[in-house]
Amino acid sequence: MKQILPLLALGLLAGCTTILETGDRIERGLTPPDAVNYATTKPEGGFSTQMNDNRIGNKVELLAARKSKTDGGYARVQFDLRNGSYLRQIINVSFEWLAADGSVVESQPNWIVTPLEPGALTTITATALKAQSAECRLRLISR
């Protein structure tokens, strides 16, 4: 009996991930299709967000957006993301660069698959190609 108990506990623990993943799949089935979420840097510092898919908002936190300049004077932004859930999340990211007047001047159209381990901090870096690029708009979508 004593030998069976740890085995049973191990079996239950191994099953936990499956239960959570099944729950995640059911949640996805019951809610509207994935929507794109945005985080945009502000000229005065900091960032603003537009969350269109609250499921990702409940699991992935955007901690900071740091703006800097490269040696050549081009804008560079680093976004710090944290997976606050207990499961590995896979998100897709891409970004656009906006000029000072808000017009889109360049973009990375394709999605980059970005795995986020539970609790892990992930930094996404975007460097502008054009001198007029001033603010960065990060686009996030769940898998």
Partner 1 sequence: MNKLFLLACAVLIVGCGTPASYKDANGRELVVSLDKVNIQDFATAGAQMLQSMITSPSFSKGAPVLQLGSITNDTADNFDTALLLSKLTVPLVNAGRVTLLDNDATANAARAESGSKANVPHAEYVLKGKILEDRSNAGSTRQSSFVFQLTLVEVKRGVAVWTEEKIVTKQGSKNSVGF
Binding site for partner 1 (CB under 8 A): 70-72, 74, 76, 90, 92, 106, 108-113, 125-127, 129-130, 141, 143
- Nearer to partner 1 by Cβ, of 3 and 110: the residue is 110
| Distance of closest approach, residue 123 Cβ to partner 1, in angstroms | 12
| Distance of closest approach, residue 127 Cβ to partner 1, in angstroms | 5
Can you say how many angstroms the Cα of residue 89 is from the centroid of all Cα atoms in its chain? 9
| Distance of closest approach, residue 4 Cβ to partner 1, in angstroms | 28
- Phi then psi dihedrals of residue 53, to 5 deg: -130, 100
- Nearer to partner 1 by Cβ, of 38 and 111: the residue is 111
| Distance of closest approach, residue 68 Cβ to partner 1, in angstroms | 11
| Distance of closest approach, residue 129 Cβ to partner 1, in angstroms | 4
Q: What is the DSSP letter of 112?
A: E
* Closest C-alpha among 75, 47, 52 to residue 138: 47
- Nearer to partner 1 by Cβ, of 45 and 73: the residue is 73
- Angle, vertex CA 94, rays to CA 110 and CA 75, nearest 5: 120
- Nearer to partner 1 by Cβ, of 44 and 71: the residue is 71
Q: What is the DSSP letter of 32?
A: P
SS3 64: strand
* Closest C-alpha among 42, 60, 54, 32 to residue 120: 60
Rounded CA-CA distance 135/97 in Å is 6
- Nearer to partner 1 by Cβ, of 78 and 85: the residue is 78
